[in-house]
């Protein structure tokens, strides 16, 4: 290679590095400016006459994280109180504490299931026990103290979720609900995220549920129906490939929605996944609109930053989804899908997940923004006695009519 070519290559390389640094700096600036707003206080959601929410001044970040995994797949966990401080610091006030639907064996060194194909992953009761124990350790023990995360001035509202059900083998779910009832009466008011069909788990021994296993859910679906407990289900619509593979598994979710038409069903990530990134927006939206119209019990969950990276990031597709969300503003909730694994995860990671999953809020109508980002839909789903602040009316720009001076 000639010396001059080598110099040119080096110069190009340095230019690329400089550009990458600039891009990183730009992203960091954008993220930190989104977090620079003053956070809303909890009392604003109790007081119906509180100050209206100014979207321009107060930003677009969600106040609700209805999809957060407090337990990792395996390995070390972010301590409970540290995780709670992430919500307080970022202004999130309402959180669902999920376990994780795919735990690795407790005696295994693997910490992420995709790194160890062949190692079996299964839902487990131990997540739910640990979450409940951690929660009760703090709740109400220091009532009146300002630093109590659930009673103090900077409190958050935590909803505990049962994440243990194995939907492919549901025989013992009711029995386990009774076990949690006995140990932690009245603590669990949500169920999920449970996996109906998740292709990412196929290499770890999970095959997904079938019509036969869905029929066997009845006893536990009746129990949660009586308690008005919503269930968040992860169910892939299909996978990339030939046209018919895009909707390969859709029939399973349709069966659940039809069979359990009185249960409050939340569909995680709108049925999308890393395996399904090529479905045209029109096709996806038309499937979801049809299901919304047919099943009044369905709510869609906008959680997971993958939705931004693979779908919403595209301006044309995003405009279509915004139109869809605005047309059904009472049918969505939001969340980060953060997993509290200590491996490479810290406050910055949570902040980024919240930022990315909130970006879609920016373009929503005021009604959809209040219902989704500020949590009105979430409160209604859970019958929580909170009200999202109203959105401030936009000031109309006064048009100064210029008087035409007629020159004579």
Site for Zn ion, rule CB under 5 A:
193, 337
CA distance 381 to 296: 12
Smallest distance from Zn ion to CB 218, Å? 25
Nearest approach, Cβ of residue 226 and Zn ion (Å): 26
Report the nearest approach of Zn ion to the CB of residue 68 (Å).
Answer: 8
Q: What are phi and psi of 236, to 5 degrees?
A: -65, 140
Nearest residue to Zn ion by CB is 337
Measured distance CA(299)–CA(230) in Å, rounded: 10
Residue placing its CB nearer to Zn ion in the complex, 72 or 329:
72
Nearer residue to Zn ion within complex by CB, 72 or 389: 72
Interatomic CA distance for residues 371 and 45, integer angstroms = 13
CB of 216 to Zn ion, least distance (A): 24
Minimum CB distance to Zn ion smaller for 53 or for 94: 94
Give all strands of the β-sheet with 188-197 in edge-to-edge order.
332-333, 298-301, 265-267, 231-235, 188-197, 157-162, 94-98, 64-69, 338-339
**Cα torsion angle, 284, 286, 287, 291, sign:** positive
Non-local CB neighbours of 110 within 8 Å, separated by 6+ positions:
74, 75, 104, 116, 119
- Measure the CA–CA gap between 199 and 274, rounded to whole angstroms: 9
Q: Which residues contact 14 (CB under 8 A, 6 or more apart)?
A: none
Q: At closest approach, how far in Å is the CB of 335 from Zn ion?
A: 8
Q: Least distance (Å) from Zn ion to the CB of residue 342?
A: 18
CB of 149 to Zn ion, least distance (A): 22
Tell me how far, at minimum, the Cβ of 201 lies from Zn ion, in Å: 12
CB nearer to Zn ion: pick between 275 and 337: 337
CA distances from 344 to 30, 308, 350 (A): 22, 21, 11
Can you read off the two tokens belonging to residue 210?
A: 């079938």
* Residue number, 357 or 371, with CB nearest to Zn ion: 357
Residue 371 CB, nearest approach to Zn ion (Å): 21
Residue 93 C-alpha from the chain's centroid: 14
Distance CA 248, CA 118 (A): 24
* Residue whose CB is less far from Zn ion, 337 or 376: 337
Take residue 315 and report the two structure tokens written for it: 């301006």
Q: Would you say 193 or 236 has its CB closer to Zn ion?
A: 193
Closer residue to Zn ion in complex, CB, 134/273? 273
Is the Cβ–Cβ distance between 175 and 166 less than 8 Å? no
Token pair for residue 333?
A: 């909730």
Minimum distance from CB of 173 to Zn ion (Å)?
A: 19
Q: Which residue, 42 or 112, has its beta carbon nearer to Zn ion?
A: 112
Which residues are CB-neighbours of 188 under 8 A, at least 6 positions away? 128, 132, 160, 161, 162, 180, 229
Dig out the tokens for 395 from the structure. 């000031």
For Zn ion, the closer of residues 58 and 337 by Cβ is: 337
């Amino acid at each position: 290679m000639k010396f001059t070519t080598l110099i040119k290559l080096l110069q190009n390389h340095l230019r690329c590095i400089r550009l990458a640094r600039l891009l990183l700096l730009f992203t960091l600036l954008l993220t930190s400016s989104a977090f620079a707003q003053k956070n809303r206080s909890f009392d604003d959601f109790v007081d119906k006459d509180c100050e209206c929410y100014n979207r321009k001044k107060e930003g677009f970040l969600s106040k609700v994280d209805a999809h957060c995994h407090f337990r990792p797949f395996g390995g070390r966990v972010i301590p409970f109180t540290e995780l709670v401080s992430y919500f307080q610091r970022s202004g999130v006030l309402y959180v669902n504490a999920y376990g994780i639907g795919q735990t690795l064996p407790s005696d295994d060194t693997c910490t992420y299931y995709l790194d160890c194909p062949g190692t079996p992953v299964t839902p487990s009761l131990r997540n739910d026990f640990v979450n409940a124990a951690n929660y009760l350790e703090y709740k109400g023990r220091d009532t009146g103290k300002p630093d109590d995360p659930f009673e103090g001035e900077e409190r958050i509202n935590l909803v505990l979720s049962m994440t243990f059900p194995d939907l492919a083998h549901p025989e013992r779910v009711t029995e386990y609900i009774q076990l949690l009832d006995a140990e932690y009466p009245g603590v669990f008011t949500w169920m999920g995220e449970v996996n109906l069909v998740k292709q990412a788990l196929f290499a770890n021994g999970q095959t997904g549920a079938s019509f036969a296993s869905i029929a066997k859910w009845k006893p536990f679906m009746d129990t949660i129906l009586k308690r008005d407990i919503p269930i968040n289900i992860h169910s892939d619509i299909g996978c990339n490939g030939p046209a018919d593979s895009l909707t390969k598994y859709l029939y399973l979710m349709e069966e659940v929605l039809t069979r359990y038409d009185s249960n409050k069903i939340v569909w995680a990530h709108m049925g999308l996944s890393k395996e399904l990134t090529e479905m045209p927006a029109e096709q996806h939206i038309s499937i979801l609109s049809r299901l919304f119209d047919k099943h009044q019990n369905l709510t869609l969950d906008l959680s997971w930053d993958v939705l931004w990276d693979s779908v919403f990031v595209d301006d044309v597709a995003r405009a279509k989804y915004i139109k869809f969300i605005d047309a059904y503003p009472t049918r969505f909730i939001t969340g980060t899908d953060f997993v509290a694994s200590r491996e490479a995860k810290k406050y910055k990671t949570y902040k980024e997940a919240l930022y990315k999953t909130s970006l879609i809020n920016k373009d929503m109508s005021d009604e959809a923004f209040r219902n989704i980002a500020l949590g009105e839909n979430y409160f209604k789903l859970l019958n929580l006695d909170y009200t999202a602040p109203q959105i401030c009316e936009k000031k109309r720009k006064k048009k100064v009519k210029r008087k035409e001076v007629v020159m004579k």
